[in-house]
Amino acid sequence: MEHIRTPKVEQVKLLDRFSNKSVTGTLHLTATHLIFVESNSTSAQEIWILHHHIASVEKLSLTTSGCPLLIQCRNFRLVHFVIPRERDCHDIYSSLLRLLRPVSYDELYAFSYNPKQNDQEREEGWQLIDLAAEFERMGVPCDQWQLTDVNREYKVCKTYPRDLYVPITASKPIIVGSSKFRSKGRFPVLTYFYQEKKAAVCRCSQPLSGFSARCLEDEHMLQAISKANHNSRYIYVMDTRPKLNALANRAAGKGYENEDNYSNIRFQFVGIENIHVMRGSLQKLLEVVGTRSLSMTDYLVGLENSGWLRHIKAIMDAAIFLAKAVTVEGASVLVHCSDGWDRTAQVCALGSLLMDPYYRTIKGFMVLIEKDWISFGHKFADRCDQLDPDPKEVSPIFTQFLECVWQLTEQFPQAFEFSEWFLIQIHEHVHSCQFGNFLGNSQRQREDLQLKERTYSLWAHLLSEKQNYLNPLFSPSVAESHPVLEPSTQAYHFKFWRNMYNQYDRSMHPRQSILKHVLTLQESKRELEGTVQALKTKLQKFGVSTSPLKPQTPPRERSLPPRPHTGGERTVEGSSATENGYGELMGSFGSKNEPGVVTLEFGVARMTC
């Protein structure tokens, strides 16, 4: 609290990003949030911005109406305040500068956040996802794959989890030898096992091959992976980098596998760009979609120039290649990039999601993230800029993964148990530092921070509001008949994800949502069925068989309950002319009152505090 000099400023204006509209209200600064409360009592909207969400604060030069403060958030919110007095503005500005740069993990919100659960509930929350059970579900350990305790003390690889699965024939000396030949010690381990063909998806980092170095243990390791699969005589080694990048790495003593040294491998580059390219691409994309009065031409040209969708397609292509190799050819695949925690995580996770319907359920998707991203050491703290920022380490790698999944939900509307709001909510919390799951860079670091004792799990929280994230069109029977998704990679399937990157620009969103409507219908149906069931039970208590009751119930007996306040009617009113800026009729409409506020879709603009 000592950083907050001015906890409250009144008469602050909030400008809309895309129109000339503004609202006036009060700005509050707390230890965790920046809160804006609109003064207009009828439709008083509140905006809660978590300090961790703030990416940058900018004080613009003084204007006649006050001092503008521009705040950019990691969840793609951009707010533009005008504060009447420059001193207040400066106080808020300098407080925020301090608050959004926590110096130690203890300052993160997760360590002070308390959802009023007792210790037992918290522990249960952490036990929801059990990776050992997940490997068991895949059929591991089995006669070819075993659990190794080589990394029990994080001695072989600091960024891997303790429990790792390797081929039966890979002995400890082979593992240790291989790990010494791999960047950051990340030797090849199992991440997904395709039981039907006994084919494995393994991951690792690049070999330290330089121009000519080789390592017998590493060659042995790959041989062991190959031998563990009787269906195929070869394994694929997918280097997810562009060839040029891999070549350049050789000069630094790193590089890629030489096919001459490894027997029976098929080596393949897939050309996903590195974290720096991705960071730049997102920045360009956001610039385009944040432009005022954007023309269609500038939008499409900007979208193209950002290259964002091209990168998304590259990741998708790689995942499809992986899924095909495993499910069609029955071959095992080893995936790596440089360090094996960015592109590798993207491709392994997305590939598994294509192959296994379980990962397309709510619970399964949590497991997938927990496995391929959290436990295998995707550097969330660095990539999401949680602490001690190094701008060169920040990159939207995980966001891209979520987007790839979204692109799939658009192509296969019935294949996923969850809707896009689930993805958006996860994205929100990856950056919120409100829950312990994504803190830190590796499993080991998380243990040091005692996250399970001191913070809460996001998964429990999301499961408690599962209703909000369901996809009403989900059809488990489709999953049974088509377990493996075969997405089309035609260019026109790759669309801009407006509900993510413009999620807070409410004037852009559809005013009515089919998804929400159908969910409401299903909800009310469930309620009615519940009522009927309750009444039946009551009747049975009186010893009456319920069947003769049916003809007596009038057909209009069960009807639509009032829709929850997120319903469609209000949102129609909310769509208004000024937000859309059709016209240039300056001044002539100024005096008209705006109709009520649009209520946002599920999951958006709601902070759990």
Partner 1 sequence: MELSEHIKTANVEDVTLRRPFHPALRGTLCVTSHHLLFSDRKDEASWQLLILLKNIDAIEKRAVGSSGTITIKCKDLLVLQLEIPGMEECLNIASSIEALSSLESVTEMYPFFYRPSHLTLNGPWGLSSTEQYYKQTERLWDRWRVSTVNSDYSVCPSYPSAVIVPREVDDDKLIHSARFRQGGRFPVLSYCHHRNGMVIMRSSQPLTGANKKRCKEDELLLQAVIDGSELGYIIDLRSAQQAQQARMTGGGFESKSFYSHWKRIHRHHERGKVVQESLIKLVEACSDPSHSVDRWLSKLENSKWLSHVHSALSTAGLVVECVERDGHSVLVHGSEGTDNTLLVSSLAQLILDPASRTVTGFLCLLEREWIQAGHPFQQRCAHSAYSHARLKQECPIFLLLLDCVWQVWRQFPLALEFSEALLLRLAQEVYASNYGTFLCNSEQERCAAGVKENTHCLFQSLLRPDIEEQYLNPLYEPTDLAIWPSVHPQSLQLWTGLFLRWTEYAQNMEEAREEVWSIVKEHHEQAGPDRTNNTLSTHCDTLTSFENLMDELTIL
| Interface characters, 304-343, with partner 1 (x: CB under 8 A) | x--x-xx-xx------------------------------
248 sits near partner 1 (criterion: CB under 8 A): no
Tell me the catalytic residues: 337
- Binding-site member from 508, 600, 605, 607 for partner 1 (CB under 8 A): 508
When binding is defined by CB under 8 A, the residue of 475, 566, 599, 608 that contacts partner 1 is: 475
Shortest CB 80 distance to partner 1, Å: 17
Q: What is the dihedral of CA 48, 53, 56, 59, to 10 degrees?
A: 10
83 is in an annotated binding site: no
User: Count of residues binding partner 1 (CB under 8 A)?
Assistant: 88
- List, in order, residues 6 or more apart from 278 with CB less than 8 Å away: 311, 395, 396, 397, 400
How far is residue 198 from each of residues 143, 193, 201, 232, 462, measured CA to CA in Å?
Answer: 10, 7, 10, 10, 33
Q: What is the CA radius of gyration of the chain?
A: 27
566 binds partner 1 (CB under 8 A): no
CA distances to 92, 153, 364, 437 from 4, in Å: 8, 42, 42, 28
Return the range that interacts with partner 1 (CB under 8 A); candidates 175-183, 323-331, 346-354, 492-500. Answer: 492-500
- What residues pair up with 235 in beta bridges, in sequence order? 265, 332
Is 250 annotated as belonging to a binding site?
no
* 494 scored as a contact of partner 1 (CB under 8 A): yes
Binding mask 190-209 for partner 1 (x = CB under 8 A): --------------------
Determine, following the binding rule CB under 8 A, whether residue 557 of this chain makes contact with partner 1. Answer: yes
Candidates 128, 558, 606, 607: give the one binding partner 1 (CB under 8 A).
558
Say which DSSP state 604 is in: T
Residue with tokens 């550097």: 379
Residue 274 assigned to a binding site: yes
Q: Is 43 in the site for partner 1 (CB under 8 A)?
A: no
- Encoded tokens for 530: 């519940």
Question: Of these, 283, 464, 467, 488, which contacts partner 1 (CB under 8 A)?
Answer: 488
User: Per CB under 8 A, does 590 bind partner 1?
Assistant: no
Residue 131 near partner 1 by CB under 8 A: no
351 is in an annotated binding site: no
Specify whether the backbone of 185 is left (phi greater than 0), alpha (psi in -120 to 50) or beta. left
Nearest to 399 by CA among 435, 415, 423, 371: 423
Report the residue number, 234 or 299, with the smaller CB distance to partner 1: 299
Asked if 347 and 355 touch (Cβ cutoff 8 Å), the reply is no
Q: Is 490 in the site for partner 1 (CB under 8 A)?
A: yes
Q: Residues 510 to 549: which contact partner 1 by CB under 8 A?
A: 510-514, 517-518, 521-522, 524-525, 527-528, 531-532, 535, 538-539, 542, 544, 549
Is 340 annotated as contributing to ligand binding? yes
Q: Which stretch binds partner 1 (CB under 8 A): 34-42, 194-202, 230-238, 586-594?
A: 586-594
Residues 148-177 that bind partner 1 (CB under 8 A): none
Residue entry with tokens 């300056």: 586
Of the candidate residues 579, 597, 602, 604, the single one contacting partner 1 (CB under 8 A): 579
> Least distance (Å) from partner 1 to the CB of residue 468?
17
- 3-state SS string for 189-237: EEEEEEHHHCEEEEEECCECCCCCCCCHHHHHHHHHHHHCCCCCCCEEE
Name which of 483, 312, 364 is nearest 412 in CA terms: 483
Q: Which lies closer to partner 1 via its Cβ, residue 205 or residue 399?
A: 399
Question: Which positions from 271 through 300 interact with partner 1, judged by CB under 8 A?
Answer: 289, 294-300
Is residue 275 marked as binding?
A: yes
- DSSP characters for 425-469? HHHHHHHH--SSTT-SSSHHHHHHTTHHHHS--HHHHHHHTGGGG
DSSP state of 473: T
Which amino acids are annotated as binding site for substrate, given as ranges? 274-275, 337-343
Residues belonging to the binding site are 274-275, 337-343
